[in-house]
Amino acid sequence: MADLVMYEEEYEQIKEILARLQSDSNSKIVFLVDKNGQQIAAHGDMQGVDATSLASLTAGNVAATDGLAKLIGEKEFSILFHEGERDNIHISLVAQRVILVVIFDERSSLGLVRLRVKKASQELEKTFEVIVTKAAAEQSREGRFESPFAEITDEDIDSLFSE
């Protein structure tokens, strides 16, 4: 799979979509993770939430469930839902490569979350199409895509471990 490269414009779009989803669905947190567990963007009350762990465990969860789906001959389970005493978590796949997580409590409902997630997913899918197209265009362009790491030196790398 190609590396995921995110530029300002699409990033802003994604953040907007997440913000709208959070308010439309009356949920606490909306969170977007790539399938490898790297957080892309989030919206809502993230205080007291370990975002990195949340991202990694969500991806692990989806990966394991994907494995289960294949075992029984399904392509994928597109939605996961975990119900807690207070909070619930709704996990769905977008554009086959990113994971949309919604955490909500009794101020919302599964039905409402489902409805809003569906709409937001469609918008996100469009944005990700653009991202993929852009990345492909950059790759094939004559001068090729100018990586900020093209000039990385041994010293740069060593300095990362200096402490």
Partner 1 sequence: MTFINYAAREINCKIVFYGPGLCGKTTNLQWIYDKTNPQAKGKLISLATETDRTLFFDFLPLDLGTVKGFKTRFHLYTVPGQVFYDASRKLILKGVDGVVYVADSQEARMDSNIESLQNLEKNLKEQGYDLNNIPYVLQFNKRDLPTALPVEEMYRQLNYKGEPTFEAVAMNGTGVFDTLKAVAKLVLTELKKK
Task: Give me the residues that bind partner 1 (CB under 8 A), please.
Answer: 1-8, 10-12, 34-38, 40, 50, 52-53, 56-57, 60, 63-64, 66-67, 145, 147-152, 154, 156-157, 159-161, 163
Please answer whether residues 31 and 49 qualify as being in contact, where contact means their C-beta atoms are separated by less than 8 angstroms.
Answer: no
CB of 79 to partner 1, least distance (A): 19
Nearer residue to partner 1 within complex by CB, 72 or 160: 160
Least Cβ distance, residue 124 to partner 1 (angstroms): 16
Smallest distance from the beta carbon of 36 to partner 1, in angstroms? 3
- Whether 110 and 135 have beta carbons less than 8 Å apart is answered as no
- Main-chain phi, psi angles of 157, to 5 degrees: -70, -45
Of 108 and 127, which CB lies nearer to partner 1 in the complex structure? 127
In whole angstroms, the minimum distance from the beta carbon of 37 to partner 1 comes to: 7
What are residue 88's DSSP bridge partners?
A: 83, 104
Q: Which is nearer to partner 1, 26 or 65 (CB)?
A: 65
Residue carrying structure tokens 């090729």: 144
In whole angstroms, how close is the CB of 145 to partner 1 at the nearest point? Answer: 8
Long-range CB pairs of 39-46 (<8 Å, 24+ gap) are: 40/6, 40/14, 40/98, 41/11, 41/14, 41/15, 42/18, 43/15, 43/18, 43/19, 44/103
Closer of 6 and 112 to partner 1 (Cβ): 6
